[in-house]
């Protein structure tokens, strides 16, 4: 029974240390994302309003901002959704608009090495703004780089999704 209690205590201490590491990374990452918040707040709400006045419910900007997470493509997708069905043209347009992300990914391969389960999300959530922060930020000593990258990505995506959804809701009051 003592060995089991010791194992639980060690695990609890490990969990507490991990939470402290995460909090430090979040506290360090947040100031880097404040300018992105200001831009995304305006653009995301504009996108949400545009979707709504184009005839779409607030669910569309919510779901599209969660899944596409590429502002340029999301704005263009409105007209693609309203146009006659043309899957090849839509695919080619999406590829041309978002192709720059291939080069972002190549540039970040070394920085994302060894980040385990965070790596797929960091790749998915890499928009222009997140790339510029994660590529250029000088992470202070004592801050876990994986958690720093994760929180920059998560905060930026949260700003976009929340503002696009809010714009979609507010757009219904414009009619």
Would you write out the chain's pLDDT as a tens digit for each of its 175 residues? 556 555 555 566 667 788 899 999 999 999 999 999 999 999 999 999 999 999 999 999 999 999 988 889 999 999 999 999 999 999 999 999 999 888 888 899 899 999 999 999 999 999 999 999 999 999 999 999 999 999 999 999 999 999 999 999 999 888 6
DSSP H stretches of helix in 54-111: 59-67, 71-82, 87-98, 100-108
Q: What pLDDT is stored for residue 17 in this prediction?
A: 85
Are residues 163 and 66 in contact, defined by beta-carbon separation less than 8 angstroms?
no
Placement of tokens 């780089």 in the chain: 145
Q: What pLDDT is stored for residue 11 in this prediction?
A: 62
Placement of tokens 């999704």 in the chain: 161
Q: What pLDDT is stored for residue 15 in this prediction?
A: 77
Are residues 150 and 25 in contact, defined by beta-carbon separation less than 8 angstroms?
yes
The total of other beta-carbon atoms located within 10 Å of residue 174's CB is 8
The DSSP secondary-structure symbol of 1 reads: -
């Amino acid at each position: 029974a003592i060995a089991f209690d010791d194992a639980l205590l060690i695990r609890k201490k490990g969990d507490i240390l991990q939470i402290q590491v995460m909090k430090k990374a979040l506290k360090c990452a947040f100031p880097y994302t404040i300018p992105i918040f200001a831009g995304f707040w305006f653009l995301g709400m504009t996108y949400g309003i545009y979707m709504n006045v184009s005839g779409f419910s607030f669910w569309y900007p919510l779901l599209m901002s969660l899944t596409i997470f590429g502002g340029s493509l999301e704005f263009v997708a409105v007209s693609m959704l309203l146009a006659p069905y043309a899957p090849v043209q839509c695919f080619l347009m999406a590829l041309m608009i978002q192709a720059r992300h291939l080069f972002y990914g190549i540039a970040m391969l070394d920085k994302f090495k060894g980040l385990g389960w965070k790596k797929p999300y960091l790749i998915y959530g890499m928009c222009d703004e997140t790339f510029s922060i994660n590529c250029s930020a000088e992470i202070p000593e004592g801050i876990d780089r994986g958690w720093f990258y994760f929180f920059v990505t998560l905060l930026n995506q949260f700003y976009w999704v929340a503002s696009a959804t809010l714009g979609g809701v507010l757009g219904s009051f414009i009619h």
